[in-house]
Structure 1
Amino acid sequence: MDNVLLVHADARDPARVLNEARELLDESKPVCIVATALLHLWRNDENPAGVLHEYMRAFPAGYLVFSHCCWDKVEPAKLARLRAIYQRYFMPIYPRTAAEIAVMLDGLDVQEPGLVEASQWRSNDRRIDVGDAYFLAAVAKFGQYVVTSARDAA
C-alpha cells in the first residue's frame, strides 16, 4: 500500500508526528483529523486542546472527528470502575465535563448535531436510551474550508 504509513510516535508531539508523515501529507489540501478516544488519556498540564489545535494549524482546512470521555452523567462508583479498567492497562483516564470538552472545540465550525453523546451522533433514532453516557462526540470543520465539488457543498 503506497499511501499508508504507520508513525510510531507520541500523539502529544505533533511536530514529530507530522514530520514523520510528511511524505504522505499534502499540506495544501484539506485533511480529516480523527481524535477519538484519545484526549481523555492526557492530563490538563499536557494541554490536550492546544495539541489538537496544533495539528489543525498544520493544514489549511479540514474536518475534525472528535470524541472525549465525559463524567457529567456518570455516577461516582461507575467512574471509579471505569478508571480502574483503564488503569489495569496502564492508561490513566482524565474524563472532563461537557463544558471543559466544549472549550476544546472553540473556534471550530461544529457540525450538526453538535457536541452530543456519541451514541446519539447522527443516530437514526435519538430516542434510544443507552444509559449513562461516557463519551461525547462531534465533527467540526476547521480552517478556510473551500468547496471544490458538488459533493463538498452538500
Structure 2
Amino acid sequence: MTEQTEWLPRDVDEEIPSAARIYDYLLGGAHNFAADRRLGEKFIAALPSARHVARLNRAFLRRAVLTLSEAGIRQFIDIGSGIPTVGNVHEIAREADPDSKVVYVDNEPVAVAHSELLLRDDPNAAMLQADLLDPEGVFGHPRTAKLLDLSRPVGLLMVGVLHFAAPEHNPAEVMRRYREALPAGSYLAVSHFTADIRPQDMREVSEVMRQSADPIYPRSRSEIAELFEGFELLDPGVVGTALWRPEDESYADEPGASQIYAGVGYKK
C-alpha cells in the first residue's frame, strides 16, 4: 500500500460525509471525499465566512497551545483532533520543548488512520480512536497511560468538538468528568460554534450538518461558559476565536471572527 493511500481505511463509506473531512476541506486539505466536498460547499453557502471561521479556529488552537506551553505544560490530550494538517499540536508544543508529549483522540476512521501514519515513528505522540463522550475511556486507555504522567498537569484541548455533543449527551456533565480526571494545575481549551452571531446562517448550517455523520448543536456564550465550571478562566474569558489573545488586532475584523467562541481555563 502506498503512503498516499494508507490513510484510507478499507471500511470507510465515502458517501457519508464526516465533520473531520469537511473541516479538512474548508482548511484546504486533501484528505476528503467528493461527498465531503459537496456538503462542504453547502456549508459555505449557508455560512459564507466558513473558510475564515475554520482558519480562525485553527489559529486559536495554535495560540492556546503556545499559551499552555508558556505556562509549563508539556503533555497534551487533543480531543477531536481531526485530520492532521499543518500546525499539529505536537509541532506547536515542541517549539517550547522538543520532549512535549501529545495524545490525539478522534472517532473518525480517516483521521485516526492518517494520524497513525503520521505518528508511527514518533515515540512522544499517540493516536486513540475513542469518543469524546467517554472521558474514562480516554484517560484510562493503555496508550494514554504509557505516554502521559497523569499525576502531573495536562493541557486538555477540545477545539471545535463539543458542538457535536447533543443536548441529551449533557456536555456539561461530560466536562465535569473530564475535570475530575485532570490533575491540579491542568488547563482546558475549548472552542464551540454559536448561534449568537448570524443565527439564521447557523440554523442553515445545522440543517446542512444533519446530512453528515456529525450533526452540530451551536450554543450560546453562557452555555459555553458553563463548560468551564470548576476552572478559572484566563483573560479575556470566553470570546470569539479572533479575539482570544490575537497576534494581530486586525483578526477582529475577519469575517466570522466570533462565529465560534473560545476560552482557556485553569484547574487549581
TM range (shorter): 0.7 to 0.9
1:56 and 2:179 aligned:
yes
| TM-score, length-scaled by structure 1 | 0.83
CA distance in 2, matches of 1:64, 1:94: 20
Determine helix, strand or coil for the equivalent of 1:7. strand
1:94 and 2:217 aligned:
yes
Q: Could you tell me which residue of structure 2 aligns to residue 6 of structure 1?
A: 127
1:66 positional shift: 0.8
Q: Could you tell me which residue of structure 2 aligns to residue 19 of structure 1?
A: 140
1:50 positional shift: 1.7
Determine helix, strand or coil for the equivalent of 1:102. helix
1:19 positional shift: 1.3
1:82 and 2:192 aligned:
no
CA distance in 1, matches of 2:202, 2:129: 30
CA distance in 2, matches of 1:32, 1:11: 15
1:39 and 2:162 aligned:
yes
Greater share of residues in helix: 2
Q: Residues 17 and 128 from structure 1, CA distance in 2 versus in 1: closer, same or farther, beyond 3 angstroms?
A: closer
1:67-113 per-position Cα deviation (integer Å, ceiling 9, x unaligned)? 1111112231x113322442343211100111111111122110011
Q: Could you tell me which residue of structure 2 aligns to residue 137 of structure 1?
A: 262
Counterpart residue type for residue 116 of structure 1: V
Determine helix, strand or coil for the equivalent of 1:113. coil
Q: Could you tell me which residue of structure 1 aligns to residue 233 of structure 2?
A: 110
**Which fold has the larger relative contact order, with Cα–Cα distance below 8 Å and residues 6 or more apart in sequence?**
1
The answer as to whether partners of 1:120 and 1:126 remain within 8 angstroms in 2 is: no
Percent of residue pairs identical? 31
Q: Mind listing any 5+ residue stretches in structure 2 that lack a counterpart?
A: 1-121
CA distance in 2, matches of 1:26, 1:48: 26
Q: Could you tell me which residue of structure 1 aligns to residue 153 of structure 2?
A: 30
Counterpart residue type for residue 32 of structure 1: G
| TM-score, length-scaled by structure 2 | 0.50
Q: How many residues align?
A: 142
RMSD of the TM alignment (CA)? 1.7
1:3 positional shift: 2.1
